């Protein structure tokens, strides 16, 4: 769904929650837009945090190949 459609639906719900009052459409749109941005920003922050956590885990475990203790030695012992 396009972000404007999501905002429109949120503004409609706000309009309904506020008793379907006329003349407050700009206020309701801005409130819906702010909520949408908060939700979107929150999701992006969560995804970014998850990506950073995964990257850190790969560094700690050796480029995502499992825990170092579970890996075969890199050079065979002679």
Quickly list H helices, 18-73. Answer: 25-61
Residue range of the domain that includes 26: 1-46
If one counts the domains in the chain, the total is: 1
Report if residue 29 sits inside a domain.
yes
pLDDT given at position 67: 47
| pTM for the model | 0.53
Sole residue written with tokens 């890199």: 74
Instruction: Please report whether residue 60 resides in a domain.
Output: no
d(CA 59, CA 30): 43
**63 pLDDT above the threshold of 60:** no
Instruction: Let me know if residue 7 belongs to a domain.
Output: yes
* Each residue's pLDDT tens digit, 10-49: 999 999 999 999 999 999 999 999 999 998 887 666 566 5
Rounded to whole angstroms, how far apart are CA atoms 58 and 52? 10
Give 3 or 19, the one with higher predicted confidence. Answer: 19
Domain presence at residue 77: no
Whether residue 40 lies inside any domain: the answer is yes
pLDDT at residue 77, rounded to an integer: 59
């Amino acid at each position: 769904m396009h972000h404007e459609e999501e905002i429109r639906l949120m503004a409609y719900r706000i309009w309904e929650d506020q008793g379907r009052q006329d003349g407050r459409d700009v206020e309701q749109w801005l409130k819906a837009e702010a909520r949408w941005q908060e939700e979107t920003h929150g999701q992006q922050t969560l995804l970014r945090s998850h990506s950073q956590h995964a990257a850190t885990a790969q560094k700690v475990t050796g480029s995502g190949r499992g825990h170092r203790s579970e890996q075969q030695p890199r050079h065979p012992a002679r």
